[in-house]
Amino acid sequence: MSTVLQKIEAAVSYIKNLYKATPIVGIVLGSGLGSFTSEINIEQEIPYSEIPNFPVSTVEGHSGKLILGELGGKKVVAMAGRFHYYEGYSVEEVVFPIRVMKYLGIQTLLISNAAGGMQKGFKVGDLMIITDHISQLTINPLIGKNEAAFGARFPDMSEPYKKYLIAKVKNIAVEAAFELKQGVYIGVTGPTFETRAEYKMLATLGGDAVGMSTVQEVIAAVHMGLPVFAMSVITDLGIRDEENTITHEEVLQAAKDAEPKLTHIFKELVAQL
């Protein structure tokens, strides 16, 4: 068995020892979006630091634990805090928890993030369904020897965000009278926010939102055949007229303000899975 499979197996057996049920949905919570976990009927919490081979989260706004329990009548596992490449983790470490959740038994992955908006008409606080992504400006997590147990050497990426999940979310939004945006997410390494020229470049490349997470997680999930839905909270505007700056604090505050809507959508989506 390869070392990555052994590492996953050790993490999975540690978690299974503490939590016997099989979660069917995995949820990754982005910056400022962690209080979503209060919706979960928590049955087990495991700090990342206790799970064998798990990296440990360091960024403010990420509490760093795995939460297992029930949401919308389904067993779920949620990551409160994720791992970013800019923190110095290898790409293999960034996607490690996604692989662990797959081996725990999840059948669907829901991802949230905070992102900078670039599409005309976007406002701070908007929610954007990610319909597609551009990963070329960050590091692909599948570089290196392919692990055949996960998936193919050259995975198809024609539908990384499943249309049937997007359709469900659009219905949920109509029923709740929420306005949703949709668009392409560009993944970058960070940790700098973009210059004005870079935001313009990213918009020209076809991006509607930009962020420092998600695409590597999605690539690892798609590699393993895991259906993904992802949503960005637009926390700042890259293409803007004013001379304002962008701070991490503002990003966290904007995410907090938008959180109740995102929570409603994820909760309803889980109930429908």
The binding site for ligand HPA (CB under 6 A) comprises 114-116, 188, 190, 193-194, 210-212, 235-236, 238, 246, 251
Structure tokens that stand for 75 in this block: 């067993």
Distance, in Å, from the CA atom of 9 to the CA atom of 53, rounded to the nearest integer, reads: 10
CA-closest candidate to residue 83, choices 194, 188, 212, 193: 212
Nearer to ligand HPA, 48 or 193 (CB): 193
> How distant is the alpha carbon of residue 258 from its chain centre?
16
Instruction: State which residue, 125 or 190, has the beta carbon closest to ligand HPA.
Output: 190
SS3 84: coil
Q: How far is the CB of 235 from ligand HPA (least distance, A)?
A: 5
Comparing every residue's Cβ against ligand HPA, the nearest one is 116
CB of 89 to ligand HPA, least distance (A): 17
State the nearest-atom distance from the C-beta of 188 to ligand HPA, in Å.
6
User: Cα–Cα distance between 129 and 113 in angstroms, integer?
Assistant: 11
Q: Find the helix packing angle between 3-18 and 91-104, rounded to 10°.
A: 50
Our CB check for ligand HPA shows the closer of 52 and 191 to be 191
Backbone angles phi, psi at 185, to 5 degrees: -100, 130
Closer residue to ligand HPA, CB minimum distance, 97 or 116: 116
Rounded to a whole number of angstroms, the minimum distance from the CB of residue 79 to ligand HPA is 17
Nearest-angstrom CA–CA distance, 233 and 151: 30
3-class SS shares of the chain: helix, strand, coil, % to 5: 35, 25, 40
Least distance in angstroms from the C-beta of 209 to ligand HPA: 8
Between 54 and 193, CB nearer to ligand HPA: 193
